[in-house]
Amino acid sequence: MDRFVWTSGLLEINETLVIQQRGVRIYDGEEKIKFDAGTLLLSTHRLIWRDQKNHECCMAILLSQIVFIEEQAAGIGKSAKIVVHLHPAPPNKEPGPFQSSKNSYIKLSFKEHGQIEFYRRLSEEMTQRRWENMPVSQSLQTNRGPQAFEDLSKLMIKAKEMVELSKSIANKIKDKQGDITEDETIRFKSYLLSMGIANPVTRETYGSGTQYHMQLAKQLAGILQVPLEERGGIMSLTEVYCLVNRARGMELLSPEDLVNACKMLEALKLPLRLRVFDSGVMVIELQSHKEEEMVASALETVSEKGSLTSEEFAKLVGMSVLLAKERLLLAEKMGHLCRDDSVEGLRFYPNLFMTQS
Amino acid sequence: MAMSFEWPWQYRFPPFFTLQPNVDTRQKQLAAWCSLVLSFCRLHKQSSMTVMEAQESPLFNNVKLQRSKGHLFLLPDSSLKYLWRKAEGRQQTEGKLPVESIQIVLEELRKKGNLEWLDKSKSSFLIMWRRPEEWGKLIYQWVSRSGQNNSVFTLYELTNGEDTEDEEFHGLDEATLLRALQALQQEHKAEIITVSDGRGVKFF
């Protein structure tokens, strides 16, 4: 029984079907084994058995492995059988249902008849030995067959195991934070990231970042460098969102992905960073941009004009009103400006309360 | 004849009428308001006020406040002036400190000891440009100087008598005087007593 190999059951080019029969049981020597109901196919090259209940269970032997065959007539309560005597299995045989067997023959039991015709055809093929004249692909010779689909489901099972393993290791790390060196932790985290699994141990390092967000952050740094320089080193996140998505055209970024990528900018030591103002407004600034220094020049501008609203300031400086307001608010926070809030709107003045005694 | 009141430069500075969110700035702003309230009340000899009155008073309303753009600078005499550029047009608008901010100013004055609420609903208050303890000190100094310890005075005599004409506390309102004497009483330097038709005080 160890001569059988797993197969897809598909015939190769140059391999032809000769006859097939349902309801065939296989015996390992005299022993009944689990393969009790299948369809037996005879081709020019092989004997293929496929389980009737589970079509994925399919195995074959090469006809060249058959030494000789015998008939066994039916009896009372017994089906007619064909006894197939086999050469020993080659050392490099592909995997099959049995690794080893003490028997050098198998029996095919025809529970739904058809033994006589099958025997006749099998004998014919054994005599003609057509497989010798019709070479088939290497894969058939080595009895491999297309296994891609088998492999995929096995891969999926393996991947699931891997994910479970990673999670359990990650939990162990979390619990034993002190016992594991920083270096090991960093290495492990990078393995997780490369598998596309979000870092479960410290969210702060990469935001809720994954490999995807890391790559995205690097992309953004490339896309935004010039636009930022053109806009005085600072842009609101909504401006960035529009700019980036307009450039992409398809496969638009979700706001969430954009924010998560931006959260990683500083950690990845890229030349831009995400900044959140007290008001909650989010901006991207060049690392070289110093908003606090811009405040000094804002004070000059306001002083020159006596007082300014955010809109007036925005127009003068060539900024968006949103960012203009943030700059004025920052100046107020730093004590350089004070406000006049009336029915006419919000105006900023130089902070004379502090400068005049 | 009351001299014309000189408003401080902040009175012409529009942000003065907006409660500043920056804590340090606000501290300066409130100090300026307290100072203004006290000097205003002193000049107008106003010892008490209702919150309603305060809201309507020019104290918290600068009807001539100018808001439009113009170059702002402080003159040597500390008055604030706008210098107009081109013909930007004047806008006469109102500078009005909102009532919630007025409450905050009044609370500041109370904490400093210059204000006392006269009723539970906080609708009227006593305003003292000098704290009662300070008045008490001045009065006691005069009493000692003129060798009148162990003398008895009516309240009227203290504030309206000939002898006190040159004193700062001359003309002081009764409510404030009483509190000044109560402060001295705490220090055992005086005792408020009842005399023929009112109250008086004995100094020790």
User: In this complex, is the C-beta atom of B13 within 8 Å of any C-beta atom belonging to chain A?
Assistant: yes
For the segment A11-27, the average pLDDT, to the nearest whole number, is: 90
Structural contact between residues A274 and A265, judged by C-beta atoms closer than 8 angstroms: yes
CB contact under 8 A, B74 and A342: no
What gap in Å lies between CA A15 and CA A36, rounded to an integer? 26
Say what percent of chain A tops pLDDT 90: 44
pLDDT surpasses 60 at A149: no
**A285-296 per-position pLDDT tens digit:** 999 988 888 999
Give all strands (DSSP E) within chain A, no chain letters. 5-6, 17-28, 31-32, 38-43, 46-51, 58-62, 66-72, 80-86, 105-110, 234-236, 272-276, 282-286, 337-342, 345-350
Chain B: closest CA distance from residue A301 (Å): 12
A59 φ, ψ (degrees, to nearest 5): -140, 165
pLDDT surpasses 50 at A30: yes
Q: Assign B203 to helix, strand or coil.
A: strand
**B67-92 per-position pLDDT tens digit:** 755 555 555 555 555 443 333 445 55
**A226-252 per-position pLDDT tens digit:** 999 988 899 999 999 999 988 877 778
Which position has the higher pLDDT, A268 or A176? Answer: A268
A50, exposed or middle or buried, with CB in 10 Å at 0-12, 13-18, 19+? buried
Structural contact between residues A217 and A261, judged by C-beta atoms closer than 8 angstroms: yes
Q: Determine the pLDDT at residue A242.
A: 92
CA–centroid distance for A50 within its chain:
33
The closest alpha carbon to A219, from A175, A170, A262, belongs to A262
Say what percent of chain B tops pLDDT 70: 86
CB contact under 8 A, B67 and A342: yes
Give how far Cα A12 sits from Cα of A22, A72, A93, A147, Å: 21, 31, 18, 14
Tell me which residue in B9, B15, B18 faces A356 most closely, judged by beta carbons.
B9
List % helix, strand, coil for chain A (3-state, nearest 5): 40, 25, 35
* pLDDT, mean over chain B: 86
Residues 52-91 of B with CB under 8 A from A: 67, 69-72, 74, 82
User: In this complex, is the C-beta atom of A98 within 8 Å of any C-beta atom belonging to chain B?
Assistant: no
User: In this complex, is the C-beta atom of A349 within 8 Å of any C-beta atom belonging to chain B?
Assistant: yes
* pLDDT, mean over chain A: 83
Structural contact between residues B37 and B127, judged by C-beta atoms closer than 8 angstroms: yes
Cβ contacts of B9 on chain A, cutoff 8 Å: 352, 356
Lowest mean pLDDT among A36-50, A83-97, A103-117, A256-270: A83-97
Cβ contacts of A316 on chain B, cutoff 8 Å: none
CA–centroid distance for A201 within its chain:
21
**A35-63 per-position pLDDT tens digit:** 999 999 999 999 999 999 988 899 999 99
For the segment B11-34, the average pLDDT, to the nearest whole number, is: 95
Q: For residue A249, what are its two tokens?
A: 């055209």
Q: What is the ipTM score, two decimals?
A: 0.82
Q: For residue B101, what are its two tokens?
A: 């901010």
**H or E stretch covering B153:** strand B152-154
Q: Among A309, A342, A349, A355, pick the best mutation site for testing chain B contact (most B Cβ within 10 A).
A: A342
Which position has the higher pLDDT, A204 or A62? Answer: A62
Q: Among B69, B73, B74, pick the best mutation site for testing chain A contact (most A Cβ within 10 A).
A: B69
CB contact under 8 A, B15 and A339: yes
User: In this complex, is the C-beta atom of B99 within 8 Å of any C-beta atom belonging to chain A?
Assistant: no
Tell me which residue in A307, A308, A333 faces B22 most closely, judged by beta carbons.
A333
Residues 28-57 of B with CB under 8 A from A: 28-29, 32
CB contact under 8 A, A356 and B72: no
Tell me which residue in A341, A352, A354 faces B13 most closely, judged by beta carbons.
A352
Give how far Cα A92 sits from Cα of A3, A61, A88, A96, Å: 11, 14, 12, 12
Tell me which residue in B20, B74, B95 faces A356 most closely, judged by beta carbons.
B74
Say what percent of chain A tops pLDDT 70: 82
Cβ contacts of A357 on chain B, cutoff 8 Å: none
CB contact under 8 A, A305 and B69: yes
Q: Determine the pLDDT at residue A175.
A: 72
Lowest mean pLDDT among A62-66, A139-143, B186-190: A139-143
Beta strand A17-28 pairing with A5-6: unpaired
User: In this complex, is the C-beta atom of A305 within 8 Å of any C-beta atom belonging to chain B?
Assistant: yes
CB contact under 8 A, A347 and B22: no
A and B: number of Cβ contacts within 8 A: 68
Chain B: closest CA distance from residue A338 (Å): 7
Q: Assign A97 to helix, strand or coil.
A: coil
- Other C-beta atoms within 10 Å of A169: how many? 14
CB contact under 8 A, A306 and B72: yes
**Nearest residue of A to residue B91, measured between CA atoms:** A344
A311 φ, ψ (degrees, to nearest 5): -65, -45
Cβ contacts of B67 on chain A, cutoff 8 Å: 307, 340, 342, 344, 347
CB contact under 8 A, B28 and A353: yes
Structural contact between residues B12 and B79, judged by C-beta atoms closer than 8 angstroms: yes
How many CA atoms lie less than 13 Å away from A182 in the CB half-sphere? 0
Beta strand A272-276 pairing with A282-286: antiparallel
User: In this complex, is the C-beta atom of B8 within 8 Å of any C-beta atom belonging to chain A?
Assistant: no
Lowest mean pLDDT among A147-156, A327-336, B19-28: A147-156
pLDDT surpasses 60 at A137: no
pLDDT surpasses 70 at B21: yes
User: In this complex, is the C-beta atom of A316 within 8 Å of any C-beta atom belonging to chain B?
Assistant: no
Tell me which residue in A308, A340, A356 faces B14 most closely, judged by beta carbons.
A340
pTM for this entry: 0.57
For the segment A122-127, the average pLDDT, to the nearest whole number, is: 90
Q: Determine the pLDDT at residue A212.
A: 81
Cβ contacts of B71 on chain A, cutoff 8 Å: 304-306
CB contact under 8 A, B72 and A354: no
Cβ contacts of A338 on chain B, cutoff 8 Å: 15, 18, 20, 22, 25
Q: Determine the pLDDT at residue A204.
A: 43
pLDDT surpasses 80 at A323: yes
**B171-197 per-position pLDDT tens digit:** 999 999 999 999 999 999 999 998 877
What gap in Å lies between CA B114 and CA B129, rounded to an integer? 6
Q: For residue A330, what are its two tokens?
A: 């920052």
CB contact under 8 A, A342 and B15: no
Q: A110 — alpha (psi -120 to 50), left (phi > 0) or beta?
A: beta
Q: Determine the pLDDT at residue B194.
A: 87
Q: Determine the pLDDT at residue B35.
A: 96
